[in-house]
Amino acid sequence: MAETTRDTGPETGQRSQQRWQVVPAPVQPPPRGAHRLDLRTTIAIDLGRLAATMSRRLGLGSGAMIGGRLALALQPQALRRLALGRRVVMVTGTNGKTTTTRMVAEALRSRAPAVSNATGANMLDGHVAALMTRPGAPFAALEVDELHLAQVTEQFEPAVILLLNLSRDQLDRVGEIRTVAESLRRALARAPGAHVIANRDDPNIVFAAADHPGVTWISGGARWKGDALNCPRCGAFLGDADGDWRCECGLSRPEADWTVTADAAVAADGTRYELDLALPGQVNRVNATFALAAAERLGCDHGAAVQRIQQISQAAGRYGTVRLAGRAVRLLLAKNPASWLEMLDLVSAEQHPLVLVVNSREADGYDVSWLWDVDFELLGGRPVRLAGDRALDLAVRLHYAGVPATVSATVDDALAGTEDGVPDIIANYTAFRDLVARSRS
């Protein structure tokens, strides 16, 4: 293991005495039986598994966090110990983490067993809970909250890190995008041996990854541009992020290694991989291309990886068709202006009954002023039903967008007022979570 130091004063040339050990990723999946855990870690994992099982049996939750939390309390080095001998892919960004992580996990399973935090528990306790489900699995695909990637790379060095995008989200918890981009940049500096797969169309992601020694750049276009108008390094105006922008400070849009088209992922050598996905929209073709690039990096067969990705029809309830209030509905998650843009674009091409649900609880962020940044005009005067804690705020926004809206006391009431057919429900985080839980009860 290599001992590494970090510059904390680039302007002065001073170096801190902070040191950490980089745990390099193995080149190949280890042979069966190669993963051995010390006694303390083994006991912590056993008790964590017991806690997770009891949580599920008592109906207290999925156990996706409590087991990992207990294991970490008993063995603070649990994450580092469980990651040893595996090739771990970390997936982060503001939008698309859960779906892309599911795609990466399925692609890796085309080669060997892989574990994943499929429920979206994306902090350290969720990572430990996922890894301890199968300590001998050679691969892992883990979603990580964008502010927690630095904590992960303090513990171990992943084999691959996917940087999807950055946009405004939960400002009262996360803060401004520049803060998040700087945190990602520091996290990558602690993992020089990890291979980074990054979005070249997002200047904030380019800033975070540009100095890393090994990067594969993905180009899928810049749909949401509201947070990419200025250079994240110096603040200068960039203009259209879809173009080959170059800032006067030297930061510029890199050449693409993979390009996403309307129906395929195209590698740098021109090889096309058709993406006939069960999941809808251009956004999921971009997610699939990230997953395919990660699978290629870890030695998976392209054909087998694409086949498994194409079979995914939902991820933790996203895009799934479920039964609510006695009828089939399709659930879509949108939690900030960037993701609302994608979901509105998806439903605007269809004429299904539409219900919009917005809450503003702690996990959502209490500030809903972002509603005024969403292009609800895409609905083109289509009537919708509204529910959720902030339905009235949403109704005001839709009034100015020229969209006729009816406010309902509950989602069930909203559904009862819709026409025949399979309604689409677009909900933000806690509203979506509650609807998924109801559909499974």
What kind and span of H or E run contains 163? Answer: strand 160-163
Give CA–CA dist 435/355, Å, rounded. 12
Query: pLDDT averaged over the chain?
Result: 88
Mean pLDDT of 322-331: 93
Phi–psi pair at 19, nearest 5 degrees? -135, 155
Residue 343 pLDDT class (50, 70, 90 cuts) = very high
pLDDT at 215: 98
The answer to whether residue 367 is catalytic is yes
State residue 35's pLDDT score: 58
Confidence check: pLDDT of 24 > 60? no
CA distance 118 to 316: 7
Q: Please check the confidence at residue 25 and state whether its pLDDT lies above 50.
A: no
Specify the residue for token string 């970090």.
6
Q: Quick one: DSSP state of residue 110? A: T
pLDDT tens digit sequence for 232-259: 999 898 876 667 889 999 999 999 999 9
CB count in 10 Å sphere of residue 437: 12
What pLDDT shows up at residue 243? 75
**Per-residue pLDDT averaged across 345-349, rounded?**
89
The answer to whether 146 and 186 are in contact (CB under 8 A) is no
**107 touches 291 (CB < 8 A):** yes
Which of 7, 364, 367, 375 is catalytic? The answer is 367
Task: Give the H/E segment covering residue 91.
Answer: strand 87-92
Q: What is the pLDDT of residue 15?
A: 37
- Compute how many other C-beta atoms are within 10 angstroms of the C-beta atom of residue 180: 25
Q: Which contiguous run of DSSP H or E holds residue 291?
A: helix 282-297
**pLDDT tens-digit profile of 56-99?**
888 777 777 888 999 999 999 999 999 999 999 999 999 999 99
Instruction: Report d(CA 115, CA 29) in Å as an integer.
Output: 13
Token reading at 101: 């992580």
Give the pLDDT band (50/70/90) at residue 28: low
pLDDT of residue 311: 96
For 364, 368, 425, the CA distances from 332, given in Å and listed in that order, are: 15, 19, 6
- Has this prediction a pTM greater than 0.85? yes
Handedness of CA 154, 227, 121, 34 (dihedral sign): negative
CA–CA distance from 339 to each of 201, 215, 225, 313, 334 (Å)? 16, 25, 12, 19, 5
Map out the domains of the chain with their CATH numbers: 2-310 (3.40.1190.10), 321-440 (3.90.190.20)
The pLDDT-based confidence of 33 (bands split at 50, 70, 90) is very low
Is the per-residue pLDDT at 19 higher than 80? no
**CA–CA gap between residue 125 and residue 67 (Å, rounded):** 8
Q: Which has more confidence, 383 or 170?
A: 383
As a whole number of Å, the CA-based R_g of the chain is: 22
* pLDDT tens digits, one per residue of 188-204: 999 999 999 999 999 99
Give residue-wise pLDDT tens across range 385-401.
999 999 999 999 999 99
Question: What are the backbone angles phi and psi of residue 193, rounded to the nearest 5°?
Answer: -90, -10
Element (H, E) at 266: strand 264-267
- Give the per-residue pLDDT at 316: 87
What mean pLDDT do residues 10-21 have? 40
Nearest to 195 by CA among 159, 164, 157: 159
Per-residue confidence (pLDDT) for residue 223, from 0 to 100: 82
**Residue 247 known to bind ligand:** yes
**Percentage of the chain surpassing pLDDT 70?**
90
- Determine the pLDDT at residue 308: 97
Cβ atoms of 393 and 358 closer than 8 Å: yes
Annotated ligand binding at 300? The verdict is: no
Which pLDDT tens digit goes with each residue over 404-435? 999 999 999 999 988 888 999 999 999 999 99
* Statement: residue 376 has pLDDT above 90: yes
Tracing tokens 């169309």 back to the chain, one arrives at 201
Q: Does 22 have pLDDT greater than 60?
A: no
8 Å CB contact between 379 and 353: no
What is the structure's pLDDT at 1?
A: 42
- Select from 391, 374, 403, 434 the least CA-distant residue to 169: 374
Percent of the chain with pLDDT over 90: 70
Residue with tokens 């997770």: 52
pLDDT digits (tens, 9 = 90+) for 361-372: 988 989 899 999
Higher pLDDT, residue 296 or 239 = 296
CA distance 319 to 11: 48
